[in-house]
Structure 1
Amino acid sequence: MEHSAWYEPIKAQLPDHYFNKINQFLDQVYASGTIYPPRDKVFAAIQATELKNVKVVILGQDPYHGPGQAQGLSFSVPNSVAAPPSLQNILKELRDDIGVKEDHDLTAWAEQGVLLLNACLTVPAGQANGHVGQIWEPFTDAVIKVVNSLDQPIVYILWGAYARKKKVLITNPKHLIVESAHPSPLSAYRGFFGSKPFSQANAFLTSHGSTGINWLQ
């Protein structure tokens, strides 16, 4: 990450020792048992989406905690693994909003400028939220603040109560916040279905002189 355009602006938001703490945490937890995603995918969100290209932020809470699912991008899993229920519901809403995406790996979104950021970047196998509150939130809050400072139009898609708490970090009037219930089966029928986040995002981007996302890619 040191060679990325993300590094210096994120570092400027955090105490000098913080990156050392992250490395120590990673060394400790990956030596202690099975952790997701694979260690080389922990920072995949900011590796896949260049800072200057960010157009949309989709904020998740923490990675999937089942074998082969987490790939460092919020809500995304490889096509070789079945789509979890929340991702299935995201694809249903996409179908009703814009059209059918033929696969469920969201890497192509990330490569177009969709920052697929989890607030917590690691999880122990089988333990949802197992690393919440331990190390990651200052880092991912710093990422959100860096994106907030950008001049280009950006859409923040916030699904569920946890993601919506991050609105306090989004203060730039040039940006748009799209929020609804979480796509989880427990809440999707309470306002996620029918919210049309994908067409909303593209309408905002194109109206501000940017190009929309090809969500079906």
Structure 2
Amino acid sequence: MSGVKRKRVSIEDFFKKDTGVKRVRRVTKATAVEPAAERVPQPVDTKVSLSSFKQTYAKEKLSPEQRELLALELDTLEDSWFEKLSAEFTKPYFLGIKSFLANEHNAKKATVFPPKEDVYSWSRLTPFADVRVVVIGQDPYHNFNQAHGLAFSVKKPTPAPPSLKNIYKELKNNYPDFQADNRVGDLTSWSRQGVLLLNTALTVRAHQANSHAKCGWSQFTRRVVELLIEDRGKSGDDIVFLLWGNNAIKLVEGLLGQHKTAAQGKNVLVLKSVHPSPLSASRGFFNNGHFRKINEWLYERHHRMIDWSVVPGATLEEVQKKNAEMKGIETSAKEEESETSANVEQSETSANVEESEMSPKEEESEMPAKEEESDTPAKEE
């Protein structure tokens, strides 16, 4: 079998009859916190299956040319995010992004980061409903083996870049038992706990910072953030915006200004400071206490805290202890709810049994009484 070469399935293959090729299964959310540094990335994990919504959307909304242009979104964008963002894909600005990237790859033969399969990794690691904390970055890292679709994060075994090193220093200020290892830069474990690590530009040309900043990505990622604000404003679900630097602050504060209900809601926490870059970190990033403030806020609202550990096997003792307590409370609440439900069902069953066991004589004796009651008012009058 090792000599057999498997054919890659494109979106166009989906619209051909009897291809005989099954699409790759959908990536499911991992429940356990598993630092990515311990995992070996598998190419198959970058694809999701075509959901019924995607199938209908592709058939009814897209031309054959658009299907080809949007193959990456159909193949790799997580279902809940795809459905929320589906109105964007046929807009001129987004098709312009796709044409721009196609030209970068095909005509200019440019190397673009992150690799195609990682552009939307943020969506697969943190589905829409699971987002608890939003961290907004700017440009993907533009050197080899760095960018993999998560803001501030780099692929193993790439060491932590300067901004991430400063993030680790601040984490150490918040949690003394945090293990700061600058050889580790993969923040996938944060994403799996509901931390959306979103860059405002999702791609960049190799070795050219901000080279894709004006191709249209900012409009798309603005919509990503706006969808979260709209949804949490209506649902009341809790969300934290962690804003480092003027670009992130202007983006989110501008959107919150347009959505007054969400901005005034007690379920939205906004934390701001300068960017963790070495150029600005000393002017207010250090000692901002953001990581602890987030966890305290989540705990007060009966949510599990984020374990910010990045070293494989490491944990934050305080966070794990509080999360264990929270799990115990959740378990007790579920058991109490289950017991209450069982008691109600038992009471209803007992009542039904008593009713079914009523003797015929008792039924007969009751019937005339009801008939007499119906005649009584005429005599009383």
- Within 1, Cα distance between the matches of 2:93 and 2:283? 39
Question: Structure 1 residue aligned with 2:179, among 93, 100, 104?
Answer: 100
Would the aligned equivalents of 2:111 and 2:206 in 1 still touch at CA under 8 Å?
yes
Q: Deviations over 1:171-196 (max 9, x none)?
A: 41221111101000000000000011
SS in 2 for 1:165: helix
> Deviation of residue 23 (structure 1)?
2.8
Q: Deviations over 1:148-182 (max 9, x none)?
A: 12232111111011111112113412211111010
> Deviation of residue 44 (structure 1)?
1.4
Would the aligned equivalents of 2:94 and 2:216 in 1 still touch at CA under 8 Å?
no
Are 1:45 and 2:127 counterparts?
Answer: no
Match of 2:280 in 1: 187
SS in 1 for 2:197: strand
Question: Structure 2 residue aligned with 1:160, among 206, 224, 245?
Answer: 245
> Any residues of structure 2 matched to 1:128-147 within 5 Å, and which?
128-147=209-228
Match of 2:153 in 1: 76
Match of 2:206 in 1: 125
TM-score, L = length of structure 1: 0.93
Q: Which amino acid aligns with 1:49?
A: T
Change (3 A) 1:39 1:13: closer
Would the aligned equivalents of 2:114 and 2:148 in 1 still touch at CA under 8 Å?
yes
Question: Structure 1 residue aligned with 2:105, among 30, 42, 51?
Answer: 30
- Within 1, Cα distance between the matches of 2:255 and 2:94? 21
Match of 1:177 in 2: 270
Match of 2:40 in 1: none
Question: Structure 1 residue aligned with 2:144, among 36, 57, 67?
Answer: 67
> Deviation of residue 96 (structure 1)?
1.3
Q: Which amino acid aligns with 1:23?
A: K
- Within 1, Cα distance between the matches of 2:240 and 2:100? 32
Would the aligned equivalents of 1:14 and 1:139 in 2 still touch at CA under 8 Å?
no
Q: Which amino acid aligns with 2:112?
A: I
Match of 2:80 in 1: 5
Would the aligned equivalents of 2:89 and 2:95 in 1 still touch at CA under 8 Å?
no
> Deviation of residue 101 (structure 1)?
4.9
> Deviation of residue 127 (structure 1)?
1.1
Q: Which amino acid aligns with 2:179?
A: V
Identity rate of aligned residues, in percent? 41
- Within 2, Cα distance between the matches of 1:47 and 1:175? 23
Are 1:204 and 2:204 counterparts?
Answer: no
Structure 1 stretches lacking a partner, 5+ long: none
- Within 2, Cα distance between the matches of 1:92 and 1:192? 10
Would the aligned equivalents of 2:112 and 2:203 in 1 still touch at CA under 8 Å?
yes
* CA RMSD between the two structures: 1.8
Would the aligned equivalents of 1:37 and 1:70 in 2 still touch at CA under 8 Å?
yes
Would you say how many aligned residue pairs link Structure 1 and Structure 2?
217
Would the aligned equivalents of 1:14 and 1:142 in 2 still touch at CA under 8 Å?
no
Q: Which amino acid aligns with 1:165?
A: K
- Within 1, Cα distance between the matches of 2:148 and 2:297? 28
Q: Which amino acid aligns with 1:70?
A: A
Q: Which piece of structure 1 moves more, 175-184 or 161-170? A: 161-170
Are 1:116 and 2:197 counterparts?
Answer: yes
> Deviation of residue 17 (structure 1)?
4.3
Q: Which piece of structure 1 moves more, 16-25 or 35-44? A: 16-25
Structure 2 stretches lacking a partner, 5+ long: 1-72, 311-381
Q: Which piece of structure 1 moves more, 99-108 or 14-23? A: 14-23
Q: Deviations over 1:99-121 (max 9, x none)?
A: 22553210010111100000000
> Deviation of residue 205 (structure 1)?
1.5
Q: Deviations over 1:47-73 (max 9, x none)?
A: 211111100000001101111111110
Change (3 A) 1:169 1:16: same
- Within 1, Cα distance between the matches of 2:112 and 2:204? 6
Would the aligned equivalents of 2:88 and 2:94 in 1 still touch at CA under 8 Å?
no
